[in-house]
Amino acid sequence: MFDIGFSELMVIGLVALIVIGPERLPRVARTLGHLAGRLQRYVAEVKADINREVELDELRKMKDTVQEAASGIESSVQAELNSARGELDAAERSLNTAAASTVAESPKLPEKSG
Protein backbone atom coordinates (compact mmCIF):
# COMPACT_ATOMS: atom_id res chain seq x y z
CA MET A 1 0.00 0.00 0.00
CA PHE A 2 2.56 2.55 1.14
CA ASP A 3 6.25 2.19 0.48
CA ILE A 4 7.63 3.18 3.88
CA GLY A 5 10.95 1.84 5.05
CA PHE A 6 12.34 1.44 8.56
CA SER A 7 14.25 4.73 8.41
CA GLU A 8 11.08 6.67 7.52
CA LEU A 9 9.24 5.02 10.41
CA MET A 10 12.04 6.06 12.78
CA VAL A 11 11.78 9.69 11.62
CA ILE A 12 7.97 9.66 11.99
CA GLY A 13 8.29 8.13 15.50
CA LEU A 14 10.87 10.72 16.55
CA VAL A 15 8.74 13.63 15.30
CA ALA A 16 5.68 12.15 17.04
CA LEU A 17 7.65 11.78 20.28
CA ILE A 18 8.73 15.41 20.12
CA VAL A 19 5.33 16.84 19.11
CA ILE A 20 3.02 14.65 21.23
CA GLY A 21 5.29 13.99 24.17
CA PRO A 22 6.28 10.77 25.92
CA GLU A 23 3.20 10.71 28.19
CA ARG A 24 0.54 10.77 25.45
CA LEU A 25 2.46 8.90 22.72
CA PRO A 26 1.41 5.35 23.80
CA ARG A 27 -2.26 6.34 23.91
CA VAL A 28 -2.05 8.05 20.51
CA ALA A 29 -0.22 5.04 19.04
CA ARG A 30 -2.91 2.70 20.42
CA THR A 31 -5.67 4.89 18.95
CA LEU A 32 -3.91 4.98 15.59
CA GLY A 33 -3.56 1.19 15.72
CA HIS A 34 -7.29 0.78 16.37
CA LEU A 35 -8.13 3.17 13.53
CA ALA A 36 -5.77 1.33 11.18
CA GLY A 37 -7.44 -1.96 12.14
CA ARG A 38 -10.89 -0.53 11.47
CA LEU A 39 -9.69 0.80 8.13
CA GLN A 40 -8.30 -2.61 7.17
CA ARG A 41 -11.55 -4.35 8.14
CA TYR A 42 -13.56 -1.80 6.18
CA VAL A 43 -11.38 -2.25 3.10
CA ALA A 44 -11.68 -6.05 3.43
CA GLU A 45 -15.49 -5.78 3.65
CA VAL A 46 -15.63 -3.54 0.59
CA LYS A 47 -13.43 -5.97 -1.35
CA ALA A 48 -15.64 -8.88 -0.29
CA ASP A 49 -18.78 -6.98 -1.36
CA ILE A 50 -17.26 -6.17 -4.74
CA ASN A 51 -16.22 -9.80 -5.23
CA ARG A 52 -19.73 -10.97 -4.35
CA GLU A 53 -21.25 -8.54 -6.84
CA VAL A 54 -18.85 -9.68 -9.57
CA GLU A 55 -19.66 -13.34 -8.87
CA LEU A 56 -23.38 -12.57 -8.84
CA ASP A 57 -23.08 -10.79 -12.18
CA GLU A 58 -21.18 -13.77 -13.62
CA LEU A 59 -23.88 -16.13 -12.33
CA ARG A 60 -26.58 -13.99 -13.94
CA LYS A 61 -24.74 -14.08 -17.27
CA MET A 62 -24.32 -17.85 -16.96
CA LYS A 63 -28.03 -18.22 -16.15
CA ASP A 64 -28.97 -16.18 -19.23
CA THR A 65 -26.67 -18.29 -21.41
CA VAL A 66 -28.16 -21.52 -20.08
CA GLN A 67 -31.70 -20.22 -20.58
CA GLU A 68 -30.91 -19.23 -24.17
CA ALA A 69 -29.45 -22.68 -24.84
CA ALA A 70 -32.49 -24.33 -23.26
CA SER A 71 -34.83 -22.21 -25.40
CA GLY A 72 -32.90 -23.17 -28.52
CA ILE A 73 -33.06 -26.85 -27.66
CA GLU A 74 -36.76 -26.59 -26.83
CA SER A 75 -37.55 -24.90 -30.15
CA SER A 76 -35.55 -27.46 -32.15
CA VAL A 77 -37.25 -30.35 -30.33
CA GLN A 78 -40.65 -28.72 -30.92
CA ALA A 79 -39.86 -28.31 -34.64
CA GLU A 80 -38.81 -31.95 -34.91
CA LEU A 81 -41.94 -33.04 -33.04
CA ASN A 82 -44.16 -31.02 -35.39
CA SER A 83 -42.36 -32.50 -38.39
CA ALA A 84 -42.83 -36.03 -37.07
CA ARG A 85 -46.52 -35.31 -36.38
CA GLY A 86 -46.98 -34.09 -39.93
CA GLU A 87 -45.33 -37.19 -41.35
CA LEU A 88 -47.45 -39.46 -39.15
CA ASP A 89 -50.64 -37.64 -40.16
CA ALA A 90 -49.69 -37.97 -43.84
CA ALA A 91 -48.96 -41.67 -43.41
CA GLU A 92 -52.26 -42.18 -41.60
CA ARG A 93 -54.19 -40.41 -44.36
CA SER A 94 -52.39 -42.51 -46.95
CA LEU A 95 -53.21 -45.72 -45.11
CA ASN A 96 -56.84 -44.70 -44.67
CA THR A 97 -57.12 -43.87 -48.38
CA ALA A 98 -55.50 -47.17 -49.36
CA ALA A 99 -57.74 -49.13 -47.01
CA ALA A 100 -60.86 -47.38 -48.28
CA SER A 101 -59.97 -48.07 -51.90
CA THR A 102 -59.18 -51.72 -51.08
CA VAL A 103 -62.56 -52.20 -49.43
CA ALA A 104 -64.33 -50.52 -52.35
CA GLU A 105 -62.55 -52.69 -54.93
CA SER A 106 -62.93 -56.05 -53.20
CA PRO A 107 -65.69 -58.31 -54.60
CA LYS A 108 -68.55 -59.14 -52.34
CA LEU A 109 -68.76 -62.75 -51.35
CA PRO A 110 -72.12 -64.43 -51.66
CA GLU A 111 -73.78 -65.14 -48.42
CA LYS A 112 -74.38 -68.75 -47.54
CA SER A 113 -77.74 -69.68 -46.37
CA GLY A 114 -77.82 -72.25 -43.85
Domain ranges in the chain are 6-88
What CA–CA distances, in Å, run from 101 to 46, 94, 98, 106?
82, 11, 5, 9
User: If you ran DSSP here, which 8-state letter would residue 114 be given?
Assistant: -
Q: CA–CA separation, 20 vs 114, rounded Å? A: 135
Mean pLDDT of all residues in the chain? 88
What is the model's pLDDT at position 56?
96
What is the model's pLDDT at position 109?
57
Contact between 48 and 56 (Cβ < 8 Å): no
What CA–CA distances, in Å, run from 61 to 15, 41, 54, 57, 64?
54, 30, 11, 6, 5
Q: How many CA atoms are closer than 13 Å to the CA of 15, on its beta-carbon side?
A: 6
What is the model's pLDDT at position 106?
63
Q: What is the mean pLDDT of each run of 10 residues along the chain (114 residues)?
A: 79 87 89 94 97 96 96 95 94 86 67 61
